[in-house]
Structure 1
Amino acid sequence: MPTSTRNQEHEHGRLFDFQATLPKLPVPDLPSTVQKYIESLEAVLPRDKFLESKQVAEEFAKSTQGQELQQRLVERAAEPGRANWLEEWWNDLSYMGYRDPVIPYVSYHYSYNDDPECSTASQRAAHVAVAALAFRAQLVDGSLAPEMQKTSPLCSHSYKYMFNACRIPHKPSDFCRTVDYAANETITVIRSNQFFSVPITQLGMPLSTAEFVEIFERIIELADSQTAVPVGVLTADNRDAWADNRQLLLNVAGNAQVLDAIESSAFVIALDKAQPVTREELSHAVWHGDGRSRWFDKPVQFIVTDNARAGICGEHSMMDGTPTLRLSDFVIGYEHECPQPARTDLGFSRLEFQTPPKVVAAVKRAGEFFDTGIAKQHISVLNYNAYGKELIKTLKCSPDAFVQMVIQLAYSRLHGCVRPTYESSMTRKFLHGRTETCRSVSNESAAWCRAMAANASRAECVELFRKAAAKHTQLTREAIEGRGVDRHLLGLRMLVQPGEEKPDIFEDPAYAYSSHWYLSTSQISSEGFASYGWSEVSPKGYGIAYNIKRDSLMMHIACMRNEFGLNSDHLAYYLEQAANDVRKLLAQ
């Protein structure tokens, strides 16, 4: 299916100034990747199993088949017109071809700090809308500057999927629909299971903050006086089921126009009736709510609750978290104009789905499916105020490596061992780059955790910590440079042709085990967030999102309530204990 219907002129402007000069994602050297893979196994496997897997991996690196697969990958990377050798595979395997629901298993959320200038939901929503539209205006008119990592520009490709875009359910793989920005100058507002379209320019002028307040108040009053079938929950269903039910909707006259209006709109604002108080309640509200008054396929969906709290729920398939982090920081820090009288005769329109009995039945089943899945999600948000980035730097340690060691120590204390850990490393310095895996568990980190458990001397524990942190920094740097393990091995595996024997390295249980993420972690840094996070990626594991602020650490821990007995509150306890202990260890 096509991924874009947008006019190519929108790939121009300041944001895309460096696209033509960005390097392509490299193909790492095969022996080097295999050696890193072997090192990553040693820390998480029993000695006998490790030696068996080591031999299998070394034989693959030397084999004729290994060399042939490597050559195929090199040739694929060099194909004329191919921006990135990984892109097509990664987008399909990890996102578009993935059939579990996007919520909770794909989408992420950023929950914002409170805005002291806003006491009502309408005011907060108006502030969010005006600021987000100002950011969009810069993207549309070409004035938005490219992101930089120190002096290196980052790829801007994913920004094309931020506004006026939507993931579309389809078998066997979904696709992303984009439309020209000028084709739909509206936002979609959702309240009480009902959908409304708000033109962002009326009577020849953009809506002001005060005018958005007035419109949102009218929408809330109107929506709360009526009821509707919660069609939005269909977007929280299994992707194949949603593909079938989207077609069911399209078979009813009038629904195609409603779907088009939502999917092509600039973004969504969901005005939620929830009134969250705790960080956990806010995370649940922004991440998924009750699943009904949402459209989870939109890459940008702002949530505003009745007690004026706010955040963003991002659909992950075509855009990772850094562009929406930039958008969110812009929204949070936006300077609003002085209040002006609102114009009269400003309008909005209701987007009304036709819901015959088959649609109602599908919605009911999707709602039950959502409720069952979300009930299994257990989250804890640790707001650790003892120190943050500034103190960690005085301890002469990378803040990210520091927190990763805290995570390893906490997990090993809770579960008695270290297990495979994923940390997302951004590869946007390359054309169409997204992420690479940093395998956070190393021989060095495992040795440090063992020394801490054995109450070894302070001098020994400090020395081992320094080695572990330095190793982690090295692994992270290599991943950012496109020289990690997992994406390269994936590329080789994908090039095994039908009828060819699969290499033993990919049949070895250690390959599956070492990429089964018992800890899925990632970090951002924003002073404006109360929390942020996503789900675990394995029923046996945790998802840990951490925000390294100047003077505090925020950790969002998610796991499943199931037969494996994991508990996010327990891990949060050990994370706090570990953070205290590491500071004490290094500060003496």
Structure 2
Amino acid sequence: MAEAHQAVAFQFTITPEGIDLQLSYQALNQIYLSGVRSWKKRVSRIRNRVIKGMYPASPSSWLFVVIAILATMYTRSDPSMGLIAKIQQHLPLSLHVSLSAQGQTMLSALVFSTLLWLSLILALRFCLKLLLSYHRWMFEQHGRVSNTTKIWVTLLRLLSSRKPLLYSYQTSLPHLPVPAIKDTLSRYLESARPLLADSEFKRMTRLASDFECNLGNRLQRYLKLKALWATNYVSDWWEEYIYLRSRGPIMVNSNYYGMDFLYVTPTSMQAARAGNTITAMLLYRRKVNREELKPSRVPGTVIPLCAAQTERMFNTTRTPGVETDVLQHWLDSEFVAVYHKGRYFRLWVYRAGRLLSPREIESQIQKILDDPSPPQPGEDKLGALTAGDRIPWSQMRKLHFSSGVNKRSLDAIEKAAFFVTLDDEEQGMRGNDPAGNLDRYAKSLLHGKCYDRWYDKSFSVVIYKNGKNGLNAEHSWADAPTVAHLWEYTLATDAFHLGYTEDGHCKGEVDRSLPPPQRLIWDISPEVQAQVCRSLAVAQALADDVDCHVFPFRDFGKGQIKKLRVSPDAFIQIALQLAYYRDRGGFCLTYEASMTRLFREGRTETVRSCSNESSAFVKALESGETAEQCQRLFKLASERHQNLYRLAMTGAGIDRHLFCLYVVSKYLGVESPFLKEVLSEPWRLSTSQTPVQQMELFDLKNHPEFVSLGGGFGPVADDGYGVSYIIVGEDMINFHVSCKHSCKETSSHMFGGQINKALRDIMSVLTADTKTPSCSKALARP
């Protein structure tokens, strides 16, 4: 076999004359080149650590300080105020003997200059941290910027003028503050008011007051102690208790998906699309490893966001445990794992330290597609173990995958850069039923066949038979914006930079001596096969219950919304409240994901979008109030929503604070009726916006067909909806709605229709003549 010859660097035989070594210079050369690549990466990591360690200063600034000190000494003045002389006195005796008096003075000046330089770096980093702790700018009205904020922006630009690496800002980001318990409880009660009857609200007020006066302050002290010690008082507990300790299936319940372009498929050749997609992702990984990616920033500003989630993007897997799962990350991986028609393969993407060309990867993928060998017994549905409950998978892994061929094959999957599925179906908006096909496309990416993805990997790329692609991402290691950033780069690089030949193949040359992909070998016992069937049954029941609906809204987009001086996100969230009210006849606890990446290791916070103001607007609209009254109430609702979003982003949210207080109570072994009730409330409407972060990659003006569909997730509550949306360009909003068939009161298609109508109705009201006697007449206008 070709791969066996490449794997052996030398052979030897024993003859009467002695040992005869037969060296394979080609193999030795490949080992040498691979080692060179490894050492280059190590040197690059060390260099980057040094550069980001001194940010916002530069290495050349050290030389400037040294020259300045020496030049000052040349004028016979002492800038150190006697410190250089003291350093000279404490030099080792050996230096006093070997160096002249002038040499000792120069060495002492050099030491002083270095210490001064390090002190200046610490001072600059402290100043940068103070500047990044200022958040009042976010609460100022557009066009009414205070002088304080103007000065702050100027200073921040000065300190950020040098080009940063990906992680340069990490140590300068502020820590997430612990809100005052009184403020959190006050905000909670305000968010609960539109959802509770008067008697229930009074009861919750008493519970909150009792909690604040008694147990709350005790829990708060422990939490503040943790905040002093930990980098982020929320993130480690959030990752562990919300994600890793969940014992149910992560498929549908936790994992989420991202879609391809809506209208365009760059090539219909499956192997070619896989070649470019894999290459683009590996190029992104190279940028991450070299820290060449620009740090993400708050859109339209110079304010950096935490990049910690990027570290575990590649070469990462979630391994199951009995009580909790564990995230495992490896520094590097030179291969990807590939699944096709029940078979698993290891595909090496580097050769002699060189990344294979897209055409070479296409050729390797084509070999997998052409491989006629059948799956081994129990191999075809093995991935169902990652889709079912976690405890059985943990037990099977420990008993049957901890040694021998099974361990080697499992290692090949778990240590891979990422997982690739070559799906044998066709997907996308196509054929005579484009709307229905979009829904099936979403379901396919969310759960597939329940065994043809490896749900434990940080992400699995899916390449369909007709060239369409997508991904399924595991949630514990990072949130959707981090994965979306990778996916934007992948789609843009695939379509606009790597490109395809006229006949649809990848570009580049092929090295015909490449060894074929390595088929993974398994020894699946009857016991494991039985558990695979049980896990598949659990996963299949969950998948069959999911109702998905994807639709692009084209009537208007953020361009028309902004002309009304309204936040597009607030507009959509209020429309969702109206849609839910019409769908279910009331309001519900609503979750909108907001980021806290203004802080170090920040992840998400909840914006409770159902507010007193939004519910007042919805009731006024439905009861036929005047257009003027509805417009006034809408303005209050949108301003309230924006304020809630800003509070969440700046660490003054409600839910993460209450969650951490609850964790502390569990550690102390005390019960809180208030916390127990608050944290058991179901999120019947769970929403999230997928932000477009790299608009410069897509020229939608000249290529409007290259619009993204965004991505989605499963419903959080059994009787609720999951709604994801992406604002694309100026004139389109794409929605992903999910719910469960088992709940007779929910329907993703009906709710999608309500969203569509709510958006149009609100726009009609906001653009109506204020002399219109009622909202109902405004809505009746075409």
Q: What TM-score, normalized to structure 2?
A: 0.71
Secondary structure in structure 1 of the residue aligned to 2:336: strand
AA matched with 1:524: T
Give the one of 276, 290, 303 matched to 2:449. 290
AA matched with 2:205: K
Give the one of 717, 720, 724 matched to 1:538. 717
Tell me what 1:344 maps to: 512
The reply to whether residue 401 of structure 1 matches residue 570 of structure 2 is yes
The reply to whether residue 568 of structure 1 matches residue 748 of structure 2 is yes
Deviation at 1:383, TM superposition (A): 1.2
Give the one of 16, 28, 42 matched to 2:193. 42
Tell me what 1:71 maps to: 221
Secondary structure in structure 1 of the residue aligned to 2:665: coil
Give the one of 316, 320, 329 matched to 1:169. 320
For residues 137-148 of structure 1, the aligned pairs below 5 Å read 137-148=286-297
Q: Distance in 2 between matches of 1:223 and 1:299?
A: 29
The reply to whether residue 83 of structure 1 matches residue 231 of structure 2 is yes
The reply to whether residue 547 of structure 1 matches residue 716 of structure 2 is no
Question: Is the contact between residue 386 and residue 552 of structure 1 (CA under 8 Å) also seen in structure 2?
Answer: yes
For residues 403-442 of structure 1, the aligned pairs below 5 Å read 403-442=572-611
Give the one of 482, 489, 510 matched to 1:330. 489
AA matched with 1:73: L
Deviation at 1:64, TM superposition (A): 3.8
Give the one of 556, 567, 584 matched to 2:764. 584
Q: Identify unmatched segments of 5+ residues in structure 2.
A: 1-40, 53-164, 429-436, 501-506, 693-705, 769-782
Q: Distance in 1 between matches of 2:519 and 2:372?
A: 10
Tell me what 2:474 maps to: 315
RMSD: 2.0
Deviation at 1:482, TM superposition (A): 1.1
Deviation at 1:354, TM superposition (A): 1.5
Deviation at 1:512, TM superposition (A): 4.3
- 1:252-298 C-alpha deviation (Å, 9 max, x unpaired): 62111111111111111111011124211211222221022211111
- 1:177-207 C-alpha deviation (Å, 9 max, x unpaired): 01121xx211111111211111111255321
Structure 1 pair 279–471 and aligned structure 2 pair: CA distance change class (3 A): same
- 1:377-435 C-alpha deviation (Å, 9 max, x unpaired): 00111211111111111121101101001100000001010110000000111111100
Question: Is the contact between residue 525 and residue 549 of structure 1 (CA under 8 Å) also seen in structure 2?
Answer: no
Tell me what 1:517 maps to: 683
Secondary structure in structure 1 of the residue aligned to 2:688: strand
Question: Is the contact between residue 708 and residue 728 of structure 2 (CA under 8 Å) also seen in structure 1?
Answer: no
The structure number with the bigger radius of gyration is 2
Q: Distance in 2 between matches of 1:115 and 1:361?
A: 42
AA matched with 1:299: S
Question: Is the contact between residue 279 and residue 531 of structure 1 (CA under 8 Å) also seen in structure 2?
Answer: no
- 1:418-463 C-alpha deviation (Å, 9 max, x unpaired): 1100000001111111001111110001111111110111111111
Question: Is the contact between residue 450 and residue 543 of structure 2 (CA under 8 Å) also seen in structure 1?
Answer: no
Deviates more, 1:520-529 or 1:478-487: 520-529
Q: Identify unmatched segments of 5+ residues in structure 1.
A: 1-5
Give the one of 376, 384, 394 matched to 2:553. 384
For residues 146-161 of structure 1, the aligned pairs below 5 Å read 146-149=295-298, 150-161=301-312
Tell me what 2:276 maps to: 127
- 1:331-371 C-alpha deviation (Å, 9 max, x unpaired): 11111167233221223211122212112212122222211
Tell me what 1:479 maps to: 648
Tell me what 1:502 maps to: 671
Q: Distance in 2 between matches of 1:479 and 1:95?
A: 21
AA matched with 2:456: D
Deviation at 1:74, TM superposition (A): 1.1
Structure 1 pair 223–330 and aligned structure 2 pair: CA distance change class (3 A): farther
Q: Distance in 1 between matches of 2:522 and 2:710?
A: 34
Q: Distance in 1 between matches of 2:733 and 2:410?
A: 41
Structure 1 pair 251–572 and aligned structure 2 pair: CA distance change class (3 A): same
Give the one of 359, 363, 386 matched to 1:210. 359
- 1:2-50 C-alpha deviation (Å, 9 max, x unpaired): xxxx999589462111111111111001111111011011010011111
Secondary structure in structure 1 of the residue aligned to 2:572: helix
AA matched with 1:547: I
Q: Distance in 1 between matches of 2:476 and 2:251?
A: 12
- 1:83-117 C-alpha deviation (Å, 9 max, x unpaired): 11112211111100011111010000001116543
Among all aligned residue pairs of Structure 1 and Structure 2, give the percentage whose two residues are the same amino acid.
29
Tell me what 1:3 maps to: none
Q: Distance in 1 between matches of 2:752 and 2:674?
A: 36
- 1:123-173 C-alpha deviation (Å, 9 max, x unpaired): 111111111010001111222222111222111111121001100001200
AA matched with 2:411: D
- 1:201-246 C-alpha deviation (Å, 9 max, x unpaired): 1255321111111111110111576564321111101111111122
Q: Distance in 2 between matches of 1:148 and 1:404?
A: 24
Structure 1 pair 459–166 and aligned structure 2 pair: CA distance change class (3 A): same
Q: Distance in 2 between matches of 1:143 and 1:531?
A: 25
Deviation at 1:468, TM superposition (A): 0.6
The reply to whether residue 199 of structure 1 matches residue 348 of structure 2 is yes
The reply to whether residue 98 of structure 1 matches residue 246 of structure 2 is yes
Q: Distance in 2 between matches of 1:190 and 1:327?
A: 22
Structure 1 pair 223–270 and aligned structure 2 pair: CA distance change class (3 A): farther
AA matched with 1:463: R
Q: Distance in 1 between matches of 2:375 and 2:45?
A: 43
Secondary structure in structure 2 of the residue aligned to 1:529: coil
Deviation at 1:528, TM superposition (A): 4.2
Question: Is the contact between residue 197 and residue 349 of structure 1 (CA under 8 Å) also seen in structure 2?
Answer: yes
Q: Distance in 2 between matches of 1:500 and 1:185?
A: 47
Q: Distance in 1 between matches of 2:405 and 2:631?
A: 67
